[in-house]
Amino acid sequence: MVKRARSKPEVSPELAIRYNFPRCASVSKDWTCLSLSTLKGRVRFQVVIPEVFEPYLAWKLGESTLIKDYKGRFFFCFTFSKETTLQPTATNHCKILGVDLGVNTLAVTSDAEFFGSVKQQRIRWERLVAELQSKGTRAAKRKLQRVSGAWKRFMTWVNHNISKRIVEKLSEGDVLVMEELTYIRKTAKYNRWVHKWAFRELQRFLEYKATLKGVRVVYVRPHYTSKECNRCHSRNTSRHRGFFVCRTCCHTLNSDLNGARNIARRYMRITGLGCGKHAHVLACDEVETLLHRRGLKLSTAKSLTALT
């Protein structure tokens, strides 16, 4: 006997609607008029495309979404796609850039460039929200409603700027190496800052910006990248307040910079490349064969994924 549901699922009237081009939606050649299919037939709207998005209008237009925000404003989110080639030949040379993501310093590259910290700003923001919540007055509640989502928007803006500056350092055929941090919250000891860490958003921005530029994105195993010395590979090390010291070779430097260089060198060791600033890159099929022998895999999204 099949039990029936006691109530029907409720669908929000403000649910986003997806439109497929050109079956359910179309746009004029000058991108000023948008035509959408509705229950009452086709409806045309005037649209305004900001200048910053004009370079994308020549790309392939895909399935897009109509959304409504909490202020009752409607936005149509166009989705564009472009094919890129990520298969450097065996004669090409490239730059391998390791990126270490962190809480205190959002990103550090293996060529010793640091991208600021927002930790103190997050502390002040949480203190403001706590004070407003503790008051409980109408004015405090209105203020909370006004600033709702402000921190998320700020972090998105920061991550976009950081990812743009990092990708600008690379050119077509280069390799961007990062850590696989998918399960970092489950494996690491509980740390409230780790749980507030928006690392995946920054990685996603780096991925699509690098892919558009023809840069391959690689993920390597994160184990011991912060504890291992990038010079002698010893783990007889110590860290204190962001300062890294190797007791074996007496090498000292910033701990985040040490991690970024370890990330880049780990990729070099996996693929058998040299450790110089410019290293020889194997052809895509050669890399796939080499990784298969070492128990690794090449992801279907045209980015090299090393998970061991």
Structure confidence by residue, pLDDT tens digits, 58-105: 888 888 888 888 778 888 888 888 776 655 443 345 788 889 888 888
Position 142 in a domain: no
Is the pLDDT score of 12 beyond 80? Answer: no
Whether residues 175 and 259 share a domain: the answer is yes
Domain boundary among 81, 106, 125: 81
**What's the domain range around 186?**
93-115+157-305
- The mean pLDDT of 187-198, rounded to a whole number, is 67
Residue (of 254, 251, 242) closest to 113 by Cα position: 254
pTM here is: 0.64
Whether residues 99 and 35 share a domain: the answer is no
Domain boundary among 38, 60, 81: 81
Q: Return d(Cα 78, Cα 59) in angstroms, integer.
A: 11
| CA distances for 7 relative to 4, 11, 13, 15, angstroms | 9, 12, 18, 20
Q: Where does the pLDDT of residue 162 fall: very low under 50, low under 70, confident under 90, or very high at 90 and above? A: very high
Pairing between β-strand 93-101 and β-strand 175-179 as defined by DSSP bridges: parallel
Q: Where does the pLDDT of residue 214 fall: very low under 50, low under 70, confident under 90, or very high at 90 and above? A: confident
Q: Where does the pLDDT of residue 166 fall: very low under 50, low under 70, confident under 90, or very high at 90 and above? A: very high
- The residues pairing with 35 across neighbouring beta strands, listed in sequence order, are 26, 44
Q: Which residue has the tokens 């403001």?
A: 128
Whether residues 179 and 73 share a domain: the answer is no
Whether residues 180 and 279 share a domain: the answer is yes
Q: Where does the pLDDT of residue 277 fall: very low under 50, low under 70, confident under 90, or very high at 90 and above? A: very low
In 3-state terms, what secondary structure has residue 111?
A: coil
What local confidence, expressed as pLDDT, does residue 4 receive? 62
Whether residues 259 and 298 share a domain: the answer is yes
How many domains does the chain divide into? Answer: 2
Angle between helices 255-271 and 284-293 (to 10 degrees): 90
Q: Return d(Cα 226, Cα 250) in angstroms, integer.
A: 16
What local confidence, expressed as pLDDT, does residue 189 receive? 58
Whether residues 74 and 164 share a domain: the answer is no
